[in-house]
Amino acid sequence: MKNNMKLYSMLCVLALAAWGCKQNTASEKPIDSSKIEVKGEAQAELTSPPHVPKPIGNRAATKLKVDLEILECEGEIVDGVKYTYWTFGGSVPGQFIRTRVGDEVEFLLKNHPDNKLPHNIDLHAVTGPGGGAESSLVAPGHEVTFSFKCLNPGLYVYHCATAPVGMHIANGMYGLILVEPEGGLAPVDREYYVMQGDFYTEGGYGDKGLQAFDMNKAIKEEADYVVFNGHVNALVNDNALQAKVGETIRLFVGNGGPNLVSSFHVIGEIFDRVHVEGGDLINKNIQTTLIPAGGAAIVEFKVDVPGTLVLVDHSIFRAFNKGALGMMKIEGEENPKIYSGKQMDGIYLPEGGTIQKMPSSKKVESTVAKTPEQSIADGKAIFSRTCLACHQSEGQGVKGVFPPLAKSDYLNNSKDKAIDAVLNGVKGEITVNGQKYNSVMPSQTLSDQEVADVLNYVYNNWGNNKTVLSPADIKNHRGK
């Protein structure tokens, strides 16, 4: 017995020693990226979202020159709502920078003479004080150069780090820099650049005109907008990402913050591979991936069936009420073995089909007389946050579930029915364009002006009869 115990102890010691030697051997041969020699020099290709530069492939490490201009410029955060963005390269997020391990980056940062403020840049890919921020503070009308070596592969955020740092980031000063491993990333069919950010305005969501940044809301983390690529409609309708059945997709997804964590999800897909936080760790078969403020992830998947995939922050009210929603339109042949579509449609109302009500709150009526064109434009923003999820971006509805608004005989034959549907909701069976529907639509808490606006948008799009309603029409209907 004693001999057996001695033998067991010796075997354990030998196993531990062998494991230790193996660990020491591995640790003795790390890749020292600082010693990778560079060959020649090149000008970096920079791209605005959702586009990315061409893959690095097998090219050798080089001296890579990055030329980036800071621009303070006015843009639209949602239809009719203006905002003054501070940007790297004129877009939010800033231009995408693509490098590889071992590159020596010579970074030229220029602050346009028309800008009002000094800025700098902190690149999370940089090993050095402030990620480059200490070397890059630049006043309007000036430019500054600094350099760094790319040591660690991964997908990294960059942002302005001039005080107050949160304000500069909240105004759109963030982007992504990719450091590819030696030999490059595995090839895919399409790559896109998507970055989330939260915005804080003095007015509420959809309040028209030029909106100023609200520091109080930012400190309290009470975002009015949570969006992909700088504004509410950046990735929907005509701006939707494109792909074809059978293609492999890689999304470089960042989160500029400044405050909120992203629960990134693509409705109708499962991520085959996720580079967690943009690093070496790979998770497989992922539904939703967390991306911290100031972090990133690389997600990859193959598209198998046609249709529209919806990109969201799955903190879901942000998607449907604050703007964190995008689309990817997939073209190609149906594959019923993977997805059949609806096979049966029946009625099941165990609780009586009660119409749900939106939370009630007193709406302040607009006192500004609008032209029909203004009303239609304003209605588009209301539609995007209250109607789009069910009736879809082009009013096509969801077959067998939510009726179409496009070329709708139900709406075009009776404006009173249309008004009543918005004010009081709909329950029970209705027929639209010859098809029967039996879902429940909740009533909406909208002002007379807002009801008129959203119905004017619907009536004046998608082949409808161009009816124009006024707030007085809505008020009269309420009184019936």
Task: Confirm whether residue 391 is marked as ligand binding.
Answer: no
Instruction: Name the strand (E) or helix (H) holding 477.
Output: helix 471-478
Rounded to 5 degrees, what are φ and ψ at 326? -140, 175
Residue 150 domain flag: yes
Residue 473 sits in a domain whose CATH number is 1.10.760.10
1 labeled binding residue? no
231 annotated binding-site participant: no
Total domain count, the chain: 3
User: Which amino acid belongs to residue 95?
Assistant: Q
Residues 196 and 280 in one domain: yes
214 and 262 within one domain: yes
Is 160 marked within a binding site?
yes
Output the six-digit token pair for 427.
Answer: 């329950």
Q: What is the C-alpha separation between 388 and 391, in angstroms, rounded?
A: 5
- 284 forms beta bridges with 273
- Is 173 among the annotated ligand-binding positions? yes
Instruction: Please identify, among 303, 331, 359, the residue that sits at the C-terminal boundary of a domain.
Output: 331
Same-domain status, 84 and 201:
no
Q: Does one domain contain both 212 and 159? A: no
Tokens of 425: 């909701």
Which single residue is written with the structure tokens 């033998």? 7
Residues 378 and 270 in one domain: no
Residue at 343 is within a domain: no
320 SS3 class = helix
Question: Under a CB-based contact definition with an 8 Å cutoff, are residues 234 and 196 in contact?
Answer: no
15 located within any domain: no
The verdict on 117 and 231 lying in the same domain is no
298 with 386, same domain: the answer is: no
- Please indicate, yes or no, if residue 14 is contained in any of the structural domains: no
| Interatomic CA distance for residues 285 and 119, integer angstroms | 41
| 119 annotated as a binding-site residue | yes
pLDDT tens, position by position, 459-472: 999 999 999 999 99
Are 38 and 170 within one domain?
yes
For residue 361, is it within any domain? no
Domain that residue 269 falls in: 190-331
* Residues 204 and 166 reside in one and the same domain: no
Confidence of residue 67 (pLDDT cuts 50, 70, 90): very high
Q: Mean pLDDT lowest for which of 29-33, 132-136, 184-188, 406-410?
A: 29-33
Domain identity same for 204 and 75: no
* CATH code for the domain in which residue 143 is found: 2.60.40.420
The helix or strand, by DSSP H or E, that contains position 389, with its residue range, turns out to be helix 388-391
CB-side exposure of 410: number of CA atoms within 13 Å?
A: 21
Whether 113 shows a pLDDT value over 90: the answer reads yes
DSSP 208-258: -EEEPB-HHHHHHT--SEEEETTSTTTTSGGG-EEEETT-EEEEEEEEEES
Residues 171, 106 share a domain:
yes
How are strands ordered across the β-sheet holding 174-180? 46-47, 96-100, 174-180, 154-159, 122-123
- Looking at 316, 331, 346, the residue that finishes a domain is 331
**How do beta strands 307-313 and 81-88 pair?**
unpaired
215-267 pLDDT, tens per residue?
A: 999 999 999 999 999 999 999 989 999 999 999 999 999 999 999 999 999 99
pLDDT in tens, 147-181: 999 999 999 999 999 999 999 999 999 999 999 99
On whether residue 81 sits in a domain, the answer given is: yes
- If asked whether residues 146 and 281 sit together in one domain, one would say no
| Dihedral, 121, 239, 204, 170 alpha carbons, nearest 10 | -10
Question: Where does a domain end: 331, 359, 387?
Answer: 331
* Among candidate residues 4, 15, 139, the one with its CA nearest the CA of residue 70: 139
